[in-house]
Amino acid sequence: MIALAITILISLTGIISALVIADNLLKARAAYVRLIREGEVMRAGFALQAAAMDMPLRPAARPVTPRRRPAMMRPLQACAAA
């Protein structure tokens, strides 16, 4: 019974791995075709413009030195010097 469970588990893992590899190959092929097409367009003299949502906005400038809060004033304690 354990041997059957291990066999099924290994078979299922192999099938899932093969499907993941096939999916990645299809995505890689589509990306390669897109890169080749973009290269041809750039060699023809056209410049591609990125969509506005693809370009990250520059983060707000942060101050170089940290802001310091005013020190809390402690009441002076009288020293009893005899």
pTM of the complete model: 0.49
**Which position has the higher pLDDT, 48 or 3?**
3
How many domains are there within the chain? 1
The answer to whether residue 66 is domain-embedded is: no
- Asked if residues 11 and 17 have their Cβ atoms less than 8 Å apart, the reply is no
The answer to whether residue 40 is domain-embedded is: yes
Q: Which domain holds residue 33?
A: 24-48
Residue 11 has pLDDT above 90, yes or no: yes
The answer to whether residue 63 is domain-embedded is: no
The answer to whether residue 69 is domain-embedded is: no
State the number of CA atoms in the 13 A half-sphere of 31 facing the CB: 6
pLDDT in tens, 25-41: 999 999 999 999 988 88
Question: Token pair of 47, please?
Answer: 């410049």
Residue 72 has pLDDT above 80, yes or no: no
The answer to whether residue 43 is domain-embedded is: yes
The answer to whether residue 60 is domain-embedded is: no
pLDDT of residue 18: 98
The answer to whether residue 80 is domain-embedded is: no
Q: Return d(Cα 35, Cα 7) in angstroms, integer.
A: 42
